[in-house]
Structure 1
Amino acid sequence: MLSLQALWVSTGTVALAEIGDKTQLLALLLAARFRKPWPIALGILAATVVNHAISAWLGMEISNLLSPQVLRWIVTASFIGVALWTLKPDELDTEGEKLPAHGAFIATTIAFFLAEIGDKTQVATVLLATRYSPLWEIVAGTTLGMLLANLPVVWLGHRFADKLPLKLARWLAAAVFLALGLWVAFRGIG
């Protein structure tokens, strides 16, 4: 029987972590600027799949290079670090920043790919790939989580974003990352 545990853990982790994240603010900005939800949604999908596939591969490679004991404590510390990082609200500095005028899809793809570099959801993807397999479930799950958090913002715009309980979402995401860190600390990587 197919478990899909990595898919569901990855989806939930990233969906929660993404609430109030700078990429969610970027989705709102792009929706307001272009007012074309389908190209924006496809741009988010394309950027996330590529970025998170690279991240998951990197996580797998890291897990192959390090001993299980060293990896266990690095992953534990990293999950706890991401839990603390999640509590800090993100802000998107758009002052003086111009989006490319090459269309909503290209602008979204480039902007989302760049915004995800070093972002907590990218770090989470790397960490999830050190703990779970197969990689396709990690990439599919983190991508699905990204879409679950961002597509409502794209379609419903500013009204929806104002009604989100961002503080509660950050605390829930931090709790998930902390739980993952403690799980790895007590159970190990494998």
Structure 2
Amino acid sequence: MIAALLLSFGVIFVAELGDKSQLMAMTYALRYRWWVVLLAITVATTAVHAVSVFFGHFLGLSIPTDVMSILAGLAMLVFGLWTIRGDHLDDDESTKAQRVGASVFFAVMSSFFLAELGDKTMLATITLSTNNDWLGVWIGSTIGMVAADALAIAVGSLLGRHLPERMIARGAATLFFGFAAWLLWEGLSGASTVTVIATLSAVVVLLGIGTLYIRHLRRSDATEAMSDDEVVRSAR
């Protein structure tokens, strides 16, 4: 259980760095009391990760350990690419983070619960729980996410500015790729030639698709920035 707790803490803490919900936590902390925000995040995270562990644990019981290690490694590879892609608040989420409701606690809790459904931290928790002690994963993943969001809350409360997202994203992506290599090595040790070839082919495909997608996003951002500059020049 301790090993699962520590592993889950590390993976989820890294996954949460630079994530959308961490940016939301920082934004909330600029306007509301830090302890209310942190308590609401803790409740929402506990609930989301309880659901994640339940599905991951029981769905993974009938799958061989080596297969789960391979799938987990591929998942970590995807999380790494996802992290490189970057994350930001869209207009709707920014509005939620800035709105003053009748109950700050329930507003923060509900928005975080919804934001985490289908997020990479939830998927990572499901992946970890398939091949590790479910209680350790639940506790470790919850503490890991709360710790990462507490960091964002501290920065938002004390400094009032965002962390350097690009640097955090690159560091987190590097760790994810490390986790991916570790899990794939464990899963492929003693595996058949067909399994090795199929797994390596999947890695190449994922890296190729991820690279093309990231380049496409960067080109789109560059085009959008140029369009904004032209609008400014026209206004002058």
SS in 2 for 1:97: helix
TM-score with structure 1 setting the length: 0.85
Cα distance in 2 between the residues matched to 1:160 and 1:119: 26
Residues 2-21 of structure 1 aligned to structure 2 (within 5 Å): 4-21=2-19
Match of 1:49 in 2: 46
Q: Which runs of 5 or more structure 1 residues have no equivalent in the other structure?
A: none
| Residue identity matched to 1:109 | M
| Residue identity matched to 1:93 | D
Match of 1:104 in 2: 104
TM-score with structure 2 setting the length: 0.70
Match of 2:215 in 1: none
- TM-superposed deviation, 1:154: 2.0
Instruction: Tell me the percent identity.
Output: 32
- TM-superposed deviation, 1:141: 1.2
Q: Does the Cα contact within 8 Å between 1:152 and 1:160 map onto a contact in 2?
A: no
- Superposition RMSD in Å: 2.3
Match of 2:176 in 1: 177
Cα distance in 2 between the residues matched to 1:84 and 1:145: 20
Q: Does 1:113 align with 2:113?
A: yes
Cα distance in 1 between the residues matched to 2:35 and 2:131: 34
Structure of larger gyration radius: 2
Match of 1:88 in 2: 85
TM-aligned CA distance change 1:153 to 1:79, over 3 Å? closer
- TM-superposed deviation, 1:58: 1.3
Match of 2:122 in 1: 122
Q: Which runs of 5 or more structure 2 residues have no equivalent in the other structure?
A: 189-236
**Residues 47-69 of structure 1: CA deviation (Å, up to 9, x unaligned):** 00110111112111221133445
- TM-superposed deviation, 1:83: 1.3
**Residues 156-176 of structure 1: CA deviation (Å, up to 9, x unaligned):** 4162653x3432322232222
Q: Report the number of matched residues.
A: 184
| Residue identity matched to 1:29 | T
